[in-house]
Amino acid sequence: MAQPDWHAPPENDSPPRKAGIKIHNSLTSRKDNFVSLAETVSWYACGPTVYDDAHLGHARNYVSTDIIRRILQDYFKLDVNFVMNITDVDDKIIIAAREQHVLDQWLAGRSSVDDEVRKNTSDAFAWFVDKRLPDLPKHTVFTNYVDSFEQSYGHVLQGKSTANDGTPPGDDEAKVKRYHKEALAAVNALEAGDSNLQSFIEGASSVLKPHLDSLHGHLIDGSDHNIFTKLTKKYEQRYFEDMASLNVLPPDKLTRVTEYGPQIVDYVKRIQDNGFAYEHEELPKKVPIDEESVNENPAKAKSVYYDTGKWVASGGEYARLKPASKTDKAAQADGEGSLASKDSTFKRSAADFALWKASKQGEPFWESPWGKGRPGWHIECSAMASDVLGKQIDIHSGGVDLAFPHHDNELAQSEAYWCEQGHVDPKNQWVNYFIHMGHLSIEGQKMSKSLKNFTTIRESLATKEFTSRRLRIIFLQGAWGSGLEISKTVKETAAKWEESIENFFLNVNDLPEMKDLSLASNGTSGTASSLDGALQEAKQAFREALQDSFDTPTATRSIADLVSKYNTEANSDRRVPNATSLSIARWVTEMVHMFGLDATRLQPEQIGWSGSTIPDEGKQFVQALASWRDTVRAQANDAPSEAKWPVLDDLPGAQNPDNAYAAAYAAFSQRVSKLTEVSATKAACLQESDYLRDTVLWDLDIGLEDRDGRPSLVRPLSARARRERAEAEEKANAKATAKAAKEKEDQEKLEKGKLSPLEMFKTDEYSEWDADGMPTKDKDGKEIAKSAGKKLRKRWDVQKKAHEAWLKSQEA
């Protein structure tokens, strides 16, 4: 199905137009010339829904968005007004906050796992598996769960679909796996018999929370927003901490749904006044008579729905982004939220969606002309973006899964809001450029919160699975609009790129002539080099790539190509003129900083990124240690019989406890002062210099390389050095493990020989033996048959050999 006409903004001399930028526009599915409406580019980005920690899939979205923003601001030098929202009212938030609240209430006054706790949990378990894993036999309880699951869903764990008919597994199967994991956690808690409530709840909360919510959630006071904002404030803060650790710039303006209640009401009202919304009275949910409702008769409340049919009949466009999805019932239901009523028969058209939702019991509410209610998901963004950026926006962005229905609904309702008294002009498109960040997948499956198959950003950085820089490089090397699978190859390609850039920075910083040069100076003049041309070509290719819808894979390649040309030249006998080295290094530095690859650049004039020069506070200590080592090694070469250890001088600042370099220097000085009593033999000198290099300096992240006839080279450890050392350690560990296993095996074999062959058959099985201890009669006094005797003799011989070996080992 074709997308409706897109109306290019009027040709003008706006800064993006002058910069020659094209953007892949989801509104046309092609690259369009980027023209902004005004000098400042207006940009609205859908932000996080804050009820959980952000995962790597979110990192892809927010880091890729940040990269594009930096390209516009810092490369093309455009003025960008970047607005982002925090979704802090949402069905998922309501559920998560309420579940936590009812669990906290249930826990209050309990201190250990007593019979009642166990009873409540096993009831919750039975309820949970009945709801979530419907193929299980009725009345599955935790004691027979594992077998029942194996029978009903075993094939899903083996990678088949629930139907087990050869169809490929998808989201449904991932959900089964998630629920299974949660059920198992509860089974383990129940079976552990632990009386510690804290550890019990860790496993059991997955079934307790939803069950308690189903029992008591509707009793929560919806006017008390604190129950909900307690959760959202915590996760909003954690979100921004994560973004800071990924070096993602904060938005110029941040909007929160909780701060927009009245404006959203006005927004919906105007859409209704323009004729594109209708009301629907939700039927009250039957509440047991013995339960007292806290909400005042919520039955009077009405919901408000967007009238897609009326909008289209009046000449408006619906589903500009994904016209083919107009009939996608699953996506539409998902967009309405998990708390939405399943009944949609009242809708005038299946695509109609909620602008305003009557709050049910246990849901937060705001006062409105329709009674107590809360905003629908899509309207939140429309109201906030319109409030800050107005009638038309240059760029709107988000993850690709938001395109339909979220963004299509946003467009429809915003255009309905902005049309003059119901007069629709399809040329009035609310957004001119829609950009969508591709998915991140793992083993072919998209990471998602609802499937719980994700690694959080925190975990991934804390476990050093990725560094912030490495992750950003991975995202730079993948096209922002396409899906990305973090495979082994993708990781290796990123590692290689990072190492080559890093080595380039280290090498340039090590050029003796570079020491006094900085980004601000021009370097010394020198002869022209073919590299001067290569630099111009790289700059050109880089610019063209970024103009071409921010093609960062090509742009990063052009940097790598230039560096590789530089290396070839620098390693040949032709000397690269200083001025050339400096201009290349300066440009590469600027571009990697522009991409956000360095969060902690301390001195703007420095060449490289953090980690490519030794920090100032460490320089004197590191240099002093390195020259001490040079002296000791020279001494060892002369192989003196009674040489003395050189002393380390007291350096100013060596007592500063906050300086890790000073502390390492002081500790090593002390060690040396003790050494003076030992004579400095050659072996001792070499041992001490290895210790200094491999332990003291290494722990300071400093690498040291010996050079013939010159002082040793000290510089920050490169990623390659770290990797090589890790690999060597891994190898050594594997070798040691294998050796230990072999020794254990030998020992066990030897132990078997402990028993003398004379004693080996002295058991109840026999009644008489000869002088060798060989049985002659069985337990009933019957003679041992000849054939059986032969077999016994064989075993006797084997044991004799083993026993001799054992005796020998005992002598040793």
Chain residues binding Zn ion by CB under 5 A are 46, 381
Nearer to Zn ion, 47 or 478 (CB): 47
Q: Minimal distance in Å, beta carbon 403 to Zn ion?
A: 11
Closest distance between Zn ion and the C-beta of residue 321, in Å?
A: 13
**Quick one: how many helices (H) and strands (E) in the chain?**
25, 18
Q: Would you say the C-alpha torsion 332, 333, 334, 339 has a positive or negative sign?
A: positive
Q: Shortest Cβ distance from residue 48 to Zn ion (Å)? A: 10
82 sits in which H/E element: strand 79-86
**DSSP assignment of 199-212:** HHHHHHHHHHHHHH
Token pair 């860790």 is found at: 202
Strands 302-306 vs 354-358: parallel, antiparallel or unpaired: antiparallel
Name, in order, each residue with C-beta under 8 angstroms of 418's C-beta and a sequence gap of 6 or more: 386, 391, 428, 430
- Rounded least distance, CB 695 to Zn ion, Å: 53
DSSP SS3 for 280: strand
The three state secondary structure string of 515-526 is HHCCCCCCCCCC
- Mapped onto helix, strand or coil, the DSSP state of residue 110 is coil
- CB closer to Zn ion, 48 vs 775: 48
DSSP class per residue in 704-770: EEEETTEEEEEEEPPHHHHHHHHHHHHHHHHHHHHHHHHHHHHHHHHHHTTS-TTTTT-STTEEEE-
Q: Which residues contact 517 (CB under 8 A, 6 or more apart)?
A: 523, 578, 582
Closer CB to Zn ion, 83 or 204, in the complex: 83
Q: Which is nearer to Zn ion, 409 or 509 (CB)?
A: 409
Angle at 28 between CA 86 and CA 433, to 5 degrees: 40
Distance of closest approach, residue 328 Cβ to Zn ion, in angstroms: 18
Q: Select 353 or 766, whichever has its Cβ closest to Zn ion.
A: 353
Q: How far is the CB of 199 from Zn ion (least distance, A)?
A: 39
Give 403 or 607: the residue with its C-beta nearer to Zn ion.
403
Distance of CA 94 to the CA centre of its chain: 25
Interhelix angle for 552-571 vs 530-547, to 10°? 170
Comparing CB distances to Zn ion, the nearer of 46 and 351 is 46
- Provide, rounded to whole angstroms, the least separation between the CB of residue 386 and Zn ion: 12
| Residue among 435 and 576 whose Cβ is closer to Zn ion | 435
Closer CB to Zn ion, 46 or 67, in the complex: 46
Establish how many alpha carbons lie within 13 A of residue 403's alpha carbon, considering only the half-sphere containing its beta carbon. Answer: 24
Query: In angstroms, what is the minimal distance from the CB of 259 to Zn ion?
Result: 16
Nearer to Zn ion, 90 or 630 (CB): 90
Query: CA-to-CA distance for 81 and 83, rounded, in angstroms?
Result: 6
| CB of 27 or CB of 546, closer to Zn ion | 27
Q: In terms of CB distance, is 203 or 405 closer to Zn ion?
A: 405
Pairing verdict, β 373-375 and 354-358? antiparallel
Output DSSP code: residue 248. P
Strand 484-485 to 79-86 pairing: unpaired
Residue 410: both structure tokens together: 């946003």
Long-range contacts, 200-205 (Cβ 8 Å, 24+): 200/113, 200/117, 200/121, 201/103, 201/107, 204/121, 204/124, 205/103
Residue that the structure tokens 């927003």 belong to? 225
Smaller CB separation from Zn ion, 87 or 509: 87
Find the shortest distance in angstroms from Cβ 251 to Zn ion. Answer: 13
Cβ proximity to Zn ion: between 92 and 470 the closer is 92
Q: What distance in Å separates the CA atoms of residue 498 and residue 639, rounded to the nearest whole number? A: 42
Q: What distance in Å separates the CA atoms of residue 750 and residue 797, rounded to the nearest whole number?
A: 15
Residue placing its CB nearer to Zn ion in the complex, 46 or 187: 46
Q: How far is the CB of 331 from Zn ion (least distance, A)?
A: 15
CB of 96 to Zn ion, least distance (A): 19
Rounded to whole angstroms, how far apart are CA atoms 437 and 481?
Answer: 5
The whole-angstrom distance between residue 562's C-alpha and the CA centroid of its chain comes to 31
Q: Are 384 and 86 in contact (CB under 8 A)?
A: no
Select from 205, 182, 186 the least CA-distant residue to 142: 186
Q: Which is nearer to Zn ion, 257 or 719 (CB)?
A: 257
Q: How many CB atoms are located within 10 Å of the residue 647 CB?
A: 12
The Cα–Cα gap between 25 and 8 comes to: 11
Reference 336, options 361, 355, 358; nearest CA is 355
Q: CB of 414: closest distance to Zn ion in angstroms?
A: 11
Which residues does 550 contact at the CB level (< 8 Å), separation at least 6? 23, 67, 68, 71, 480
DSSP 643: B
Nearest CB to Zn ion, comparing residues 142 and 377: 377
Closest distance to Zn ion from the beta carbon of 90 (Å)? 11
